[in-house]
Amino acid sequence: MGQEIAHSHFRKHDFMEFDQRLRKETALLGDVFRDRAFGETHPVAGFEVEAWLVDRNGLAIPDNPRFLDAVHSDLVTPELARFNVELNGMPLALAGKALSEMQNELECTWTRCQQVAWQELDGCLLAIGILPTVREQSLVLENMSTMTRYRALNESVRRMRKGEPIKLEIQGRELLRTWHEDVMLESAATSYQLHLQVPQNQALRAYNAAIILSAPMVAISANSPYLFAHDLWDETRIPVFEQAVSVNTEDYAPRQRVTFGSGYANNSLFECFEENLAEYPILLPEHLGDNTGEFRHLRLHNGTVWRWNRPLIGFDREGVPHLRIEHRVMAAGPTIVDMFANAALFYGLAQSFMTMPAPPESRIPFSHARTNFYRAARDGLDSRLRWFDGHEISAPELLRALIPLAREGMHQLDMDHADIELYLGIIEDRLATGQNGCAWQRQYVSRHGLDMAALTLAYMERQKQGSPVHEWTI
């Protein structure tokens, strides 16, 4: 959602013109796929971390303009709400010490951001899937970031819903049911997103692997059990985001904008962009120029379809297009080293799955991968998943079997041995203790009571200490 636009109000003519440009760019992209004109490269990794601005009491601070002005970095950008920001890293070839180098870069950015948050806002930055103290009355348009595209998105969703409020209903350990007038519910959920850039001849296998791996990745990394003091799913971000920008009403039911997808890619990732054109109404019909070859309208439209695994089109410095997979399933936090341990698991497994002689997607139907994803989001490490050849397995048992494959994939990528052992060792220890971010939060509440401020401050203190979550005390 990072691409800014100039207008928030559109006419029928704008939609017609955008549709024409989108169709031209989609047809041209089809030619690029057929001509195999994407750049060929060793796999490249990248990441985005969404974080909260919070005060000394653990409450959200809706003042990211002042914070961003003081940080003054292209790597730190606004998010939907004024109490959220996004931290980015420079992409690196997925080899050698790439992961520890990206961790060091994020730690430097994080330290700078913490200094600014303290000096400018008397607060700090917090990486967590859902801030336990976030209040429904804070999720209002007054706290929306100033970017025009966010206002335009909200107006488009409300227009498609014909003014009907958005219903949020989550049945987890408890039931939460509420209604909201705008898309600001989305800002309650913050994520850690991984990017994987691959050559065209590997992109289909990489995309399908990311889909299959979504369930175990959510199970091991779950970090958002609470919303509005209700104990819900292990990864409550998933239903929150899916419902927060829903355009469905009782009388209108198009494809969901936030989705696990409709199936594996069969021949190429171009199928996703064809589906975008055919199945998803235009939300932001901004005129972005007449240079069809930059795919600006196609990329903007793709940015309003939030697949949990989303194909992206980008360009290198020479203007050559490339393909990336954006793996969006994980929550932010609990610590920086935890996030890069998650990255090691994902990148290693993706590489291993991409190079298996028999494509894994031939052994697990898409319907099972999708069901697994929602089971893992709801029940985390307590979930049972349907894996290869219909075999049912517990999430911990599956993860124990997957870790050696991740190690093998990282060796294939020629990753640094010390990095492999460090990061996958953290995953092994987290699995052995059963303590991910979600489990720690629930254990804390079980011992100390349902005090969301106390939970947030305790989480904040442990995150500052930097030890991986499996070592956190209750």
Rounded Cα–Cα distance for residues 75 and 227 (Å): 29
What's residue 1's pLDDT?
A: 40
- Per-10-residue mean pLDDT, the chain, length 474: 63 94 98 94 95 98 97 96 97 98 98 98 98 96 93 90 92 97 96 97 97 98 98 98 87 84 97 97 93 96 97 92 97 98 98 97 98 98 97 98 98 98 98 98 98 98 98 97
Q: Report the topology of domain 12-467.
A: Creatine Kinase; Chain A, domain 2 (3.30.590)
What's residue 318's pLDDT?
A: 87
Instruction: Tell me whether residue 34 is exposed, middle or buried, using C-beta atoms within 10 angstroms of its C-beta: 0 to 12, 13 to 18, 19 or more.
Output: exposed
Tokens for 335? 């610590």
**Bridge partners for 78 per DSSP:** 85
Domain boundaries, the chain: 12-467
Instruction: Render the burial of 375-408: b for 16+ CB within 10 Å, e for the rest.
Output: bbbbbbbebebbbeeeeebebbebbeebbebbbe
- Cα 43 to Cα 22, 34, 83, 322: the distances in Å are 29, 21, 34, 11
Contact 150, 245 (CB under 8 A): no
pTM of the model: 0.97
